[in-house]
Structure 1
Amino acid sequence: MANLGELERAVMDALWDGEAPVTAGELRDKLAAARQGGKAPALTTILTVLSRLESKGFVARDRDARPHLYTAALTRAGHVADLMREVLESSSDRTQALAYFVGSVDESEAEVLRRLLDARSV
Structure 2
Amino acid sequence: MADDEAGRRRARGELESEVMAALWAAGEPLTPAGVQTALGDGLAYNTVQTILTRLLEKDLVRRGPADSGRGHAYWPAQDAASLAATRMRAALDERPDRRAVLQQFAAGLGEDDAETLRALLAEREP
TM-score (norm 1): 0.80
Distance in 2 of aligned mates of 1:42 and 1:106: 40
Query: Which is worse superposed, 82-91 or 59-68?
Result: 59-68
Secondary structure of the corresponding residue to residue 28 of structure 1: helix
Query: Percent identity over the alignment?
Result: 36
Unpaired runs of 5+ in structure 2? 1-11
Q: Which runs of 4+ in 1 moved over 4 A?
A: none
Task: Check if 1:26 corresponds to 2:34.
Answer: yes
Give, in angstroms, the shift of residue 121 of structure 1.
2.1
Aligned to 1:49: 51
Task: Confirm or deny: 8 A CA contact 2:31 2:66 kept in the other structure.
Answer: no
Unpaired runs of 5+ in structure 1? none
Instruction: Kindly tell me the number of residue pairs found equivalent between the two proteins.
Output: 113
Q: What are the superposed Cα offsets for residues 65-86 of structure 1, whole Å, 9 maximum, x if unpaired?
A: 4242211111111221122112
- Normalized per residue, the structure richer in helix is 1
Distance in 1 of aligned mates of 2:99 and 2:13: 30
> How big is the alpha-carbon RMSD for the aligned residues of Structure 1 and Structure 2?
1.8
Aligned match for 1:16, one of 18, 24, 36: 24
Taking CA–CA contacts closer than 8 Å with sequence separation of 6 or more, which of the two structures ends up with the larger relative contact order? 1
Give, in angstroms, the shift of residue 109 of structure 1.
1.1
TM-score (norm 2): 0.78
Give, in angstroms, the shift of residue 51 of structure 1.
1.6
